[in-house]
Amino acid sequence: MKKILVSLVILALCAPAMAATTLDVDSSGSQIILTLTVSEDDVVRGLAVAVEQSDGDLGDMKLESGDDVSAPDFNTYIDYAFSNPSGYDVGMVGQHAAAKIDRAGAIDDPADNGSQLPASAFSVSAGYLDQGENQGGLDASGSPYTITIDMTGTTASCFDVSLDALRGGIVGDDLEITDNTGQVCLTAVEPDCYQQGGFDVGDPEYDLWASVGKPICWCYVSQCHGDANGTIELGDPKLGIPDHHVGAPDLTILADGWQKPDTDPDFATFICADFNHTLELGDPKLGIPDHRVGAPDLTILAGEWQSATTAEDCLTGTL
């Protein structure tokens, strides 16, 4: 009998532990990041997470829009469907996972006296269905799955993140759950100068600016008119030269970058003289590479040379 008991103990010690489906929470700047790791043989059909500003926290960060909750691996948003039943379909464009924290419905339910936004307390409610005969779900083959929540504000704020008991937390088939949620603290991220000027990621103007290294000089209010250094140069009243945005220092920057390729080590400086924000085609036969500083930029600079009336409208509301 003792030998049998010892054998059973050894077998128990050697038996592999059942892996659990795990939900982790982290933060990056003003973003809350949820990571769902689904273990082998598990299938997650729905997930609900509550996000609430911590008691006593005085920060002002909030969820501004339902679209600021991104759960791309899910295709069914139960609370959104509840608030928008007309014509709802699985995977339809425009739906989101932001829900009221205390009752059913999307956080911007049009039938509930408009929007509950901005919100410092809300739920993330998402599920997965296929459009065939099976219920569908998220399994280990595509794991981990990430949900991001972009918050907006000017002051650091802390939030308590937990499984939403009202909606069942994580649901599926015989799941064993490891809940690693808890408090996360966010820091306010100042928008960059292009965002302040009305452009954002995905806008062609923003993406072009990002592709050349986000030069701060492109945010100067007169850069597109020939101002490469962002400075008003003093004029000379005796010579009839007014104070001006465009002058000798700007011409020097343009000359230093004249018809040079993007691979030049001084690119970060002379990109400021690309006043038309266009890549000019070179001429291989003449040994001229494609370049960002050339004749069109010189024409712009010449047109505003030592002008007292240079426009300040290149990126409204910035430098």
Residue 12 reports pLDDT greater than 60: no
- Give the CATH number for residue 145: 2.60.40
At residue 17 the predicted structure's pLDDT band, cuts being 50, 70 and 90, is very low
Mean pLDDT of the chain: 87
At residue 157 the predicted structure's pLDDT band, cuts being 50, 70 and 90, is very high
Same domain, 49 and 170: yes
Same domain, 167 and 245: no
Quote the pLDDT of residue 8.
29
**Is 10 within a domain?**
no
Same domain, 100 and 170: yes
- What is the tens place of the pLDDT at every residue in 106-118? 998 777 765 678 8
Quote the pLDDT of residue 113.
60
At residue 20 the predicted structure's pLDDT band, cuts being 50, 70 and 90, is confident
Quote the pLDDT of residue 135.
67
Closest to 222 (Cα-Cα) out of 318, 311, 316 = 311
- DSSP states of 291-303: BSSSHHHHHHHHH
Quote the pLDDT of residue 5.
33
**Is 68 within a domain?**
yes
Half-sphere exposure of 36 (CA within 13 A, CB side): 33
Same domain, 180 and 199: no
**Is 71 within a domain?**
yes
Quote the pLDDT of residue 199.
86
Same domain, 237 and 290: yes
Q: Is the dihedral of CA 24, 28, 29, 33 positive or negative?
A: negative
At residue 317 the predicted structure's pLDDT band, cuts being 50, 70 and 90, is very low
Same domain, 205 and 131: no
Q: Dihedral, CA atoms, 192, 195, 200, 201, nearest 10 degrees?
A: 0
Residue 228 contacts residue 314 (beta carbons within 8 Å): no
**Is 309 within a domain?**
no
Same domain, 275 and 179: no
The mean pLDDT value for 182-199 works out to: 88
- What is the tens place of the pLDDT at every residue in 34-86? 999 999 889 999 999 999 999 999 999 999 988 899 999 998 898 998 888 87
Domain termination site, one of 155, 170, 186: 186
- What is the tens place of the pLDDT at every residue in 231-273? 999 999 999 999 999 999 999 999 999 999 999 999 999 999 9
d(CA 279, CA 259): 10
Quote the pLDDT of residue 25.
97
At residue 19 the predicted structure's pLDDT band, cuts being 50, 70 and 90, is low
Percentage of the residues of the chain whose pLDDT score is greater than 90: 63
d(CA 274, CA 291): 9
The mean pLDDT value for 6-19 works out to: 39
**Is 36 within a domain?**
yes
Give the total number of structural domains in the chain: 2
Indicate the range of 181-190, 227-236, 244-253, 310-319 predicted with least confidence: 310-319
Residue 15 reports pLDDT greater than 70: no
d(CA 99, CA 253): 53
Same domain, 154 and 41: yes
Quote the pLDDT of residue 81.
87
Quote the pLDDT of residue 115.
65
The mean pLDDT value for 121-137 works out to: 80
Which residue range forms the structural domain that includes residue 258?
A: 193-303
Domain termination site, one of 143, 164, 186: 186
Same domain, 229 and 161: no
Domain termination site, one of 136, 164, 186: 186
Same domain, 165 and 201: no
**Is 243 within a domain?**
yes
Quote the pLDDT of residue 134.
59
Same domain, 286 and 207: yes
Same domain, 172 and 68: yes
The residue length of the chain stands at 319
Quote the pLDDT of residue 258.
97
More confident residue, 178 or 154: 178
At residue 4 the predicted structure's pLDDT band, cuts being 50, 70 and 90, is very low
Percentage of the residues of the chain whose pLDDT score is greater than 70: 88
